């Protein structure tokens, strides 16, 4: 059951209007809801944004007592991979790892989603590389912390434009880089549809030989009369012989009734809820379902082959197999401490955005260390740093390229000279050398840091001169470059 009011389905991709959220597992409301979830027949919930600084013992223990597991998204509305200006940076890394730290030691934590519907059409398939980098790094983080094995996956929508490519991409390459499970947000079975009419037969065939578990991360179309009109007849197919051998169940959207009209209950106050028509419908369908399973000790996987990565093709698929570097604040800090020319502290985001366009327009080479190109799979060593750190790195590179002329570190009074020197790296030298070496070789950098009936629905400048959109520091800038008398927009 999807269990969170306000941000459900909107914690990744940055389409949600509000960036605020209430952690449903950090309030006493869970004492009201968990017995009702158990009565309904739920054995797992999905949450979309949790506060890693809050205490979750009461709710997680109550879930455990009722045989209910948790799978949660690692992002939150104001800190997620944005499909329009995608990044995998230090702030996101810290957010994701903090959620893992908060929930890894609960025995009923089932898994984590590194993204939710981030790539949702052919215009933003470059964002897939950043989601997959997040998967890779969170899997590595769990291992480095000696936590028990907890899966990290991705929740995708059912957009026909990118569906096949996403299925393959998230499951291709090495096991260390690919998802542990696939979640499908799918709303094609509406009303009293059927296994074939809904297209679920085709979706099942697509995953028949998938090498990791797949399940419905959201389902429950409400186009036939709203939430009160959902018969949930897809439950019989999902847990029956047609789909049981391929899909590992599904998560119904959603527990709370909101303006989108997908709810099973309506909250009356902090101590009571009123059940809606769909509550009874789903409860009876779940009670009648007879899924079959297998003991883990007896399980012998047969589908172990990864998929082939989709071919990079402009306007079709823009994420290469090679992924962005692992965010590491130590690398960024070490580099910034060596810079002579830096952006002034406190410079506004709007000014930083404008300065990226200015300095990268003046010198593409100055921005090579902070840019990334998903179509070629090449990323600057510092492309994972904060926007302010990235801008300082670019400004300093331009300044050095201008033979350290005093007026080359000004930029309208927004840059300033410091007393730093390259020798300031000191003990950081090996860390910087490792990061830059990984970037120049085109390999993925490693980190030493421990740090439908649904709801609402580029080329980069790298080491060589590119033409088009910069994706640097979370900003997009169209720049004009003049090379050998030719102007490029």
Residue 420 lies inside a defined structural domain of this protein: yes
End-to-end Cα separation, the chain, in angstroms: 49
Kindly tell me if the per-residue pLDDT of 441 is higher than 70.
no
Among 172, 124, 103, 142, CA closest to 14: 124
Question: Are 261 and 408 part of one and the same domain?
Answer: no
Identify which has the larger pLDDT, 427 or 239: 239
Residue 234 bears catalytic tag: no
Reported confidence tier of residue 303, pLDDT bands at 50, 70, 90: confident
Among 239, 238, 221, 240, CA closest to 230: 221
Residue 117 bears catalytic tag: yes
- Are the beta carbons of 366 and 393 closer than 8 angstroms? no
pLDDT on residue 463: 27
Question: Are 399 and 290 part of one and the same domain?
Answer: no
Residue 34 lies inside a defined structural domain of this protein: yes
Question: Are 245 and 341 part of one and the same domain?
Answer: no
Residue 403 lies inside a defined structural domain of this protein: yes
Residue 17 lies inside a defined structural domain of this protein: no
Instruction: Tell me the average pLDDT across 215-223.
Output: 95
- Are the beta carbons of 147 and 176 closer than 8 angstroms? no
pLDDT on residue 459: 26
Domain containing 112 equals 29-298
Kindly tell me if the per-residue pLDDT of 96 is higher than 60.
yes
Kindly tell me if the per-residue pLDDT of 372 is higher than 50.
yes
In whole angstroms, what is the distance from residue 95 CA to residue 77 CA? 11
Question: Are 68 and 169 part of one and the same domain?
Answer: yes
pLDDT on residue 406: 82
Tokens of 336: 């910034």
Strands (E), 147-191: 151-157, 182-185
- Helix-, strand-, coil-residue percentages of the chain, each rounded to 5: 30, 15, 50
Instruction: Tell me the average pLDDT across 78-82.
Output: 94
Q: What is the pTM of this model?
A: 0.88
Question: Are 479 and 403 part of one and the same domain?
Answer: yes
The separation between CA 35 and the C-alpha centre of its own chain, rounded to angstroms, equals 31
Locate all alpha helices (DSSP H) within 233-302, ordered by sequence: 234-238, 277-288
State the CB neighbour count (10 A cutoff) for residue 303. 11
Boundary-marking domain end, from 298, 316, 345:
298
The DSSP call for residue 309 is P
Locate all alpha helices (DSSP H) within 41-103, ordered by sequence: 57-65, 90-103
For the chain, what is the mean pLDDT?
87
Instruction: Tell me the average pLDDT across 125-138.
Output: 97
pLDDT on residue 426: 63
Residue 322 lies inside a defined structural domain of this protein: no
- Are the beta carbons of 122 and 162 closer than 8 angstroms? yes
Question: Are 180 and 221 part of one and the same domain?
Answer: yes
Place of tokens 């640097």: 472
Task: List the CATH number of the domain containing 390.
Answer: 1.20.58.1040
The total domain count for the chain is 2
pLDDT on residue 226: 73
Question: Are 341 and 434 part of one and the same domain?
Answer: yes
Place of tokens 């997680």: 60
Please tell me the least confidently modeled range out of 35-44, 143-152, 324-333, 468-477: 468-477
Kindly tell me if the per-residue pLDDT of 122 is higher than 50.
yes
Q: Which of 76, 87, 188, 218 is catalytic?
A: 218
Residue 18 lies inside a defined structural domain of this protein: no
Cβ burial of 294 (10 Å; 0-12, 13-18, 19+) is exposed
Please provide the size of the chain in residues: 489
Question: Are 272 and 400 part of one and the same domain?
Answer: no
Question: Are 258 and 118 part of one and the same domain?
Answer: yes
Kindly tell me if the per-residue pLDDT of 204 is higher than 70.
yes
pLDDT tens, position by position, 225-256: 777 889 999 999 999 999 999 999 999 999 99
Identify which has the larger pLDDT, 440 or 147: 147
Task: Quickly count helices (H) and strands (E) in the chain.
Answer: 12, 17
Kindly tell me if the per-residue pLDDT of 312 is higher than 90.
yes
Reported confidence tier of residue 472, pLDDT bands at 50, 70, 90: low
Question: Are 335 and 292 part of one and the same domain?
Answer: no
Q: Which of 117, 188, 257, 388 is catalytic?
A: 117
Q: Phi first, then psi: give them for residue 273, nearest 5 degrees.
A: -130, 160
pLDDT on residue 484: 29
pLDDT on residue 295: 85
Identify which has the larger pLDDT, 297 or 311: 311
Among 174, 484, 425, 447, CA closest to 328: 447
In whole angstroms, what is the distance from residue 478 CA to residue 489 CA? 7
Question: Are 250 and 146 part of one and the same domain?
Answer: yes
- Are the beta carbons of 261 and 253 closer than 8 angstroms? no
Instruction: Tell me the average pLDDT across 363-381.
Output: 93
Cβ burial of 8 (10 Å; 0-12, 13-18, 19+) is buried
3-class SS of residue 442: coil
Reported confidence tier of residue 452, pLDDT bands at 50, 70, 90: very low
Please tell me the least confidently modeled range out of 45-59, 271-285, 407-421, 473-487: 473-487
Task: List the CATH number of the domain containing 139.
Answer: 3.20.20.80
């Amino acid at each position: 059951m999807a269990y969170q009011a306000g941000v459900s389905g909107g914690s990744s991709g940055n389409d949600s209007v509000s960036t605020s959220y209430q952690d449903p597992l950090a309030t006493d409301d869970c004492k009201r809801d968990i017995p009702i979830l158990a009565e309904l027949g739920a054995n797992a919930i999905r949450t979309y944004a949790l506060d890693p600084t809050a205490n979750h013992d009461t709710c997680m223990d109550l879930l455990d007592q009722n045989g209910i597991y948790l799978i949660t998204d690692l992002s939150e509305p104001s800190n997620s991979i944005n499909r329009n200006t995608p990044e995998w940076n230090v702030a996101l890394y810290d957010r994701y790892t903090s959620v893992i730290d908060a929930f890894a030691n609960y025995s009923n934590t089932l898994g984590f989603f590194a993204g939710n519907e981030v790539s949702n059409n052919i215009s933003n398939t470059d964002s897939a590389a950043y989601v997959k980098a997040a998967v890779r790094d969170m899997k590595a983080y769990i291992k480095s912390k000696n936590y028990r094995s907890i899966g990290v996956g991705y929740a995708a929508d059912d957009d026909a434009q990118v569906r096949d490519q996403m299925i393959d991409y998230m499951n291709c390459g090495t096991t260390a880089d690919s998802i542990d499970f696939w979640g499908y947000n799918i709303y094609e079975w509406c009303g009293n549809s059927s296994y074939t009419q809904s297209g679920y037969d085709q979706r099942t065939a697509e995953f028949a030989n998938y090498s990791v578990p797949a399940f419905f991360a959201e389902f429950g179309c409400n186009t036939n009369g709203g939430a009160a009109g959902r018969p949930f007849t897809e439950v019989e197919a999902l847990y029956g012989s047609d789909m049981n051998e391929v899909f590992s169940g599904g998560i119904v959207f959603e527990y709370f009734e909101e303006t989108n009209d997908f709810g099973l209950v309506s909250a009356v106050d902090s101590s009571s809820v009123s059940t809606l028509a769909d509550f009874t419908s789903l409860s009876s369908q779940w009670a009648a379902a007879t899924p079959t399973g297998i003991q883990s000790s007896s399980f012998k996987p047969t589908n172990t082959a990864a998929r082939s990565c989709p071919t990079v093709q402009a306007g079709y698929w823009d994420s290469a197999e090679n992924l962005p570097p692992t965010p590491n604040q130590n690398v960024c800090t070490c580099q910034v401490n060596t810079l002579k020319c830096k952006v002034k502290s406190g410079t506004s985001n709007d000014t930083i955005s404008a300065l990226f366009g200015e300095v990268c327009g003046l010198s593409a080479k100055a921005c090579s260390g902070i840019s990334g190109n998903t179509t070629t799979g090449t990323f600057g060593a510092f492309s994972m740093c904060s926007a302010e750190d990235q801008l300082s790195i670019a400004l300093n590179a331009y300044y050095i390229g201008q033979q350290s002329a005093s007026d080359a570190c000004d930029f309208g009074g927004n840059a300033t000279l410091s007393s730093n020197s390259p020798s300031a790296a000191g003990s950081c030298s090996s860390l910087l050398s490792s990061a830059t070496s990984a970037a120049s070789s085109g390999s993925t950098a490693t980190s030493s840091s421990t740090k439908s009936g649904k709801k609402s629905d580029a080329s980069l400048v790298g080491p060589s001169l590119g033409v088009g959109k910069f994706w640097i520091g979370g900003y997009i800038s169209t720049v004009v470059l003049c090379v050998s008398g030719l102007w490029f927009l």
